[in-house]
């Protein structure tokens, strides 16, 4: 098994993809809007991936946060709110906000499990600040570390109840970035002491099954390399001070925050201590390069993947009732 999660080019597996994936045996797959038409099509696609791997516990990921980041949407699926909606409720009624976040995540899990998706890249544990890039503030749970941790925990629990694995992101924190890593490499100049606020939510949820890195340079820890490529940040901060021992994946290595060829970036990420690489765009030449540069997943990486996927339980809950509960609670923010 290669330590990489690949994207797919369209709503069905192509012959080339089927042959390549059968040989490369990636650790998982990630889906985007280009892969989604309706329930029947999406379930057929995820079933095809399970058939290809000849196992049921394949990691099939999606970014389904709500708000601007949603790969499944109307008219086939309902819209979901993003983090700021729960943050607004927390200002008035913290316990209600936590319950709303849990109900929302359980409904999300049920919706994804129905179509065979097993991993949702949620929750964000990034602590928002006045200067934070809008790419994060439009999605984050707020500006207080423990508030973010509380709603992040409720979201992880809700996703698990709905039958999918959650992914905490973006380790060790994206809240101080003032530019979008899709386009630029941010540099954070905060001191080690100041960064305690950023890592606090991740430390509180250190037992999460999966986590995702950030493509950000933290000068207090490594002046030269972004977290994704930094052995210092991964081993001393993420694995050490935070205490995270789940499966650690990169954010999408195609983002412009990182430089080099896809294979170079993938190899450097694994060498730095990431368990798996996330490569989203399904460009066959790039996937071939990445697979050629990577060896097999490490034994500890495979154990972390297996442990995370074993945490998937049978979905429980009534979708309509959960949505009704969430909406009733969120309405309290406007009272």
Q: Which residues are catalytic?
A: 182, 251
Number of residues assigned to the chain = 335
Cα dihedral 72, 35, 267, 50 sign: positive
**How many angstroms separate the CA atoms of 160 and 183, rounded?**
33
Rounded alpha-carbon distances, angstroms, from residue 127 to 98, 130, 131, 277, 322: 17, 10, 11, 24, 27
Q: Is there a contact between 175 and 129 (Cβ–Cβ < 8 Å)?
A: yes
Q: Where are the beta strands (DSSP E) in 180-285?
A: 187-188, 210-213, 217-218, 247-252, 276-279
**How many angstroms separate the CA atoms of 213 and 234, rounded?**
9
Q: Which residues does 14 contact at the CB level (< 8 Å), separation at least 6?
A: none
How do strand 119-120 and strand 165-171 relate by DSSP bridges? Answer: parallel
Backbone angles phi, psi at 217, to 5 degrees: -85, 125
**How many angstroms separate the CA atoms of 222 and 233, rounded?**
7
């Amino acid at each position: 098994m290669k330590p990489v999660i690949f994207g797919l080019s369209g709503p069905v597996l192509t012959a080339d993809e089927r042959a390549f994936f059968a040989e490369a045996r990636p650790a998982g797959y990630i889906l985007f809007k280009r892969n989604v038409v309706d329930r029947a099509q999406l379930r057929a696609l995820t079933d095809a991936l399970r058939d290809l791997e000849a196992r049921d516990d394949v990691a099939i990921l999606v970014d389904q946060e709500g708000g601007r980041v949603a790969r499944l949407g109307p008219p086939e699926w309902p819209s979901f709110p993003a983090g700021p909606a729960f943050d607004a409720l927390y200002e008035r009624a913290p316990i209600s906000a936590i319950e709303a976040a849990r109900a929302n995540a359980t409904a999300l899990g049920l919706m994804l499990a129905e179509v065979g998706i097993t991993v949702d890249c949620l929750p964000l544990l990034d602590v928002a600040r006045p200067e934070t890039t809008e790419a994060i503030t439009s999605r984050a749970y707020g500006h207080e570390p423990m508030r973010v941790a509380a709603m992040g925990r409720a979201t992880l629990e809700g996703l698990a109840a709905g039958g999918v694995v959650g992914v905490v992101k973006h380790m060790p924190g994206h809240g101080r970035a003032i530019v979008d890593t899709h386009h630029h490499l941010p540099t954070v100049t905060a001191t080690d002491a100041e960064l305690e606020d950023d890592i606090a939510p991740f430390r509180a949820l250190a037992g999460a099954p999966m986590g995702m890195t950030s493509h950000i340079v933290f000068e207090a820890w490594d002046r030269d390399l972004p977290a994704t490529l930094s052995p210092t940040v991964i081993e001393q901060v993420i694995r050490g001070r935070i205490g995270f021992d789940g499966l650690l994946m990169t954010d999408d290595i195609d983002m412009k925050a990182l430089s080099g060829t896809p294979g170079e970036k993938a190899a450097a990420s694994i060498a730095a201590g990431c368990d798996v690489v996330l490569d989203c765009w399904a460009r066959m030449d790039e996937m071939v390069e990445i697979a050629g540069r990577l060896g097999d997943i490490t034994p500890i990486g495979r154990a972390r993947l297996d442990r995370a996927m074993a945490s998937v339980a049978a979905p429980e809950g009534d979708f309509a009732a959960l949505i009704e509960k969430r909406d009733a609670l969120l309405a309290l923010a406007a009272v």
